[in-house]
Structures are given as C-alpha cells and as structure tokens.
Amino acid sequence: MHRTLAARYTSVSYTHTYILTFVFRKTIYAAIVDISTADELMAVTRLDKASRGAGMALRFHPTSAIKLNLINHGAKVLCSKKYFNEVYRGCKYNRGEVAEMLVTELMFHQKWQKDSVPFTKGGDIVANGITYQHKHQGATFCNEKTLRNLMR
C-alpha cells in the first residue's frame, strides 16, 4: 500500500522539488530534496490512517534518523523552535502554514501569501524560477481518496 500510494502521488505531482521542514533539538530545519520516485517518497513518509474516512495516507513523520540524514545532506537552520512558536502563537495559521511562511520569508526573502493550489497544479513556493512543494513534519502528502479521485 505504501509503495502504491507513493507511486501514484509522484506520478501526478506538479513538482518533484520539496522543502521539508522539521524540528530537531529545539531548531527548525529546512531541507530541499528531490522526490521524483516512489522509493524517495517512501524514505521520508510513513503509511498512516487518513482522517474522515479517506483510507490510508502518506505522512511526513520523520524519525530522528531521517532528520539526521536530512541534516547531513544539507538541511539548513531556518529558525529556533522558540521563534517558530512565537510566530505560530501570534497568527491564525497552522504549523505547516507558519513553516511555509517562514521558508518563503527567511530563505527566499519573499512575501508569503496563503493559497490553496492543488499539488497537481502547482507548488507552494516559487523562488528563483523553481517551484517547490512544502511539507512540515506531521503533514500529509496525500490520501487514498484523493488519489483515487485523481485516477478517474
């Protein structure tokens, strides 16, 4: 099931360039990674039950080993967990949106604007001519129901 969902997701995703953000030792890191194959997606996701009866889901729940691997392969410090939490408490957005906002503003020095572009039509961030999809730890890449609807 994990491989099937990962293969279907990568086949319909608009971009294969991702920014994965995660917490490690009181620090928020951002890793730019290419996820163009099911194996690459499976390496950073786990299969989990989706909400609202949507079957199973691929979620970015990195283990400490995955986090260390991302750090060892170039993940950059985005900000402290303390700063992240201060921004989070001071706004109306969820943690994933706050992480996306901080990536856009701190890494790319652009003004962030919330949008709801489907992952099949575009990315979350466009910077220097590159379209990125962003996922913060705990985020869902996709679920069975969404992929089933896309395959029709």
Q: What percent of the chain has pLDDT over 70?
A: 99
**Per-residue CA distances from 70 to 1, 12, 63, 77 (Å):** 25, 24, 11, 11
Please state the rounded mean pLDDT for residues 55-62: 94
β-pair partners for 33: 18
Q: What is the pTM of this model?
A: 0.94
Cβ atoms < 10 Å from Cβ of 12: 14
Q: What is the pLDDT of residues 124-134, one digit of tens each?
A: 999 999 999 99
What is the pLDDT, as a whole number, of residue 54? 87
Q: How many domains does the chain have?
A: 1
Please state the rounded mean pLDDT for residues 128-151: 94
Domain that holds residue 9: 2-150
Please state the rounded mean pLDDT for residues 58-71: 96
